[in-house]
Amino acid sequence: MIFFQRLFTAIQRQVAIVLAIATYENNRKSTASSIGAWETIVGPLQLILFFIGMRVGFSLLRGSNRFAAGGTSDMYFNVVMFISTGFIMVFLFRIVALKALSGLKLRAPLYYPRIKPLDILMALAVNDFRAIATISLGIMGLVWLFTWSFQLDSPGLAFVVYMLTILMAMGFGICVTFLSNLNKWIVRVIKRLIARVLIFTSGIFFATFELPEYARPFVTWNPVLHSVELFRYSINNQYPIPDISFNYLVCCSMLLIGFSLILYRTNELQLLEANDD
């Protein structure tokens, strides 16, 4: 019983510390620039609007083709909704993973013995989650308002997938950071991969079922694609998700986070090394 009490206190303090660091970072930002803490969402928002504009433009050029062979994603989602669901998940992953990868930028709080690098990482993840959640809620709210059709078929699944993605991103980032012990080039290559390959294989622009069957294995290795597609599925249960499995996502995120925690225990300060190009 005492053990559980201690565990509970420890967890409670841990959470409090992480949140305090998150507030610290926000406060720091809020006095730093004129737009204050909104700065965090301006960057992603720009990008998502660009993507949506691009996609809407293309579909205007191409003409809507609702009943192409096998059907298209337009049958299940509004274009804006489709892109933004993909974007939300991919950027959540990308931002969190890159934060871990490129070394902690926020390191002053480490001066206090209680604060560990992982705390800061989690705090930054919390902040990113908040910013992206704000964006996504805003966009979905707008879409729902305009189309007047509220749909969220499996809210539980959406939540779980969202959380798993955050975990996976952190685990991935930390793992790769420790890989950089072996070779700096690995990190550079992986950073590039995340930035570019990830965007194009994670289904921001396409749905898995739109791909022909032989092309699917080229993208389904990517666990982020699974989280994107599952998130879409959880919004609309009619959305077909061939070759997408929840188990794969769970396995990936658990493996990554487990590995990363093991690695983290052994060499904590590695996270402080900047990996900028």
Partner 1 sequence: MPEVNPPSNVSAPLHKEKSSSSMTDSLLSPDRSAVVWRERLKRVARPQTLISVFLASSAFYCFVIGRDRYTAVSEFVIQQATPLNTSAASVLAGAAAAPQVLTSLVDGQYLQVYLESSDVKTRLFPDSKQLEQDYSVKFPDLWSGLSANSSAPQQLDFYRKQLSVSPQPLSGSVILKTSGFRPEQALNLNNSLVKQSRRFVNEVNQSINADQNKFARKEVQLAEINLKAATRKLELFQEKHGNLSAETEQAATSSFISGLESQLVELKVEEAALRRQYRDPDAPEVSFVADQVSELQAQIREERKRAVSANGRDLNTLALEEAGLRSDVEFATQTLQSARLASDNSRRESQRQLKFVVVLSQAQLPVAPDHNWRWQAFLASVGIVVVAWGVGGFVLNAMQKS
Partner 2 sequence: MVGGLGPSTSGVVVSATASARPVLTFRNFSLRCDKSDPRISFKVPWNWEIPHGKKIAIITNSSFLRYQLIAGIAGLVPPVSGDLIAGGVVGWPVGGSGGLDSKLRISHSINFLKIVYGDCLERSCVSLDEFWALLLDQSIHPNLTIKELSKDQKEFFYLALSVLFSFDCYLFPQSKFLMSKAARQLRKLLLKQVEGKTIIATSSNGRFRSDFCSEGLVLNPYGGILYSGGLSESIEWAKSNLKLSDDLEKEDEQLQMGLDLQNASDDLSSEVM
Nearer to partner 1, 26 or 270 (CB): 26
Q: How far is the CB of 1 from partner 2 (least distance, A)?
A: 14
CA gap 222, 252 in Å, rounded: 10
Choices 77-85, 95-103, 124-132, 221-229 (CB under 8 A): range interacting with partner 1? 124-132
Q: Is 30 in the site for partner 1 (CB under 8 A)?
A: yes
CA gap 77, 72 in Å, rounded: 9
CA gap 125, 223 in Å, rounded: 19
Nearer to partner 2, 244 or 257 (CB): 257
Q: How far is the CB of 248 from partner 2 (least distance, A)?
A: 24
Contact, 169 vs 92, CB < 8 A?
yes
- CB-neighbour burial class of residue 240 (10 A; exposed 0-12, middle 13-18, buried 19+): middle
Nearer to partner 1, 135 or 187 (CB): 135
Q: Report helix angle 184-201 to 155-179, nearest 10.
A: 150
Q: Is 275 in the site for partner 1 (CB under 8 A)?
A: no
Structure tokens belonging to residue 53: 């504009």
Nearer to partner 1, 19 or 47 (CB): 19
Q: How far is the CB of 247 from partner 1 (least distance, A)?
A: 16
For the chain, give the number of residues: 277
Q: Supply φ then ψ for residue 276, to 5 degrees.
A: -75, 150
Q: How far is the CB of 35 from partner 1 (least distance, A)?
A: 8
Among 45, 75, 179, 250, binds partner 1 (CB under 8 A): 75
CA gap 103, 117 in Å, rounded: 10
| Residues contributing to the site for partner 1 (CB under 8 A) | 12, 15-16, 19-20, 23, 26-27, 30, 36-38, 40-41, 67, 69-71, 75, 126-127, 129-131, 133-134, 137, 154-160, 162, 209, 237-238, 240, 242
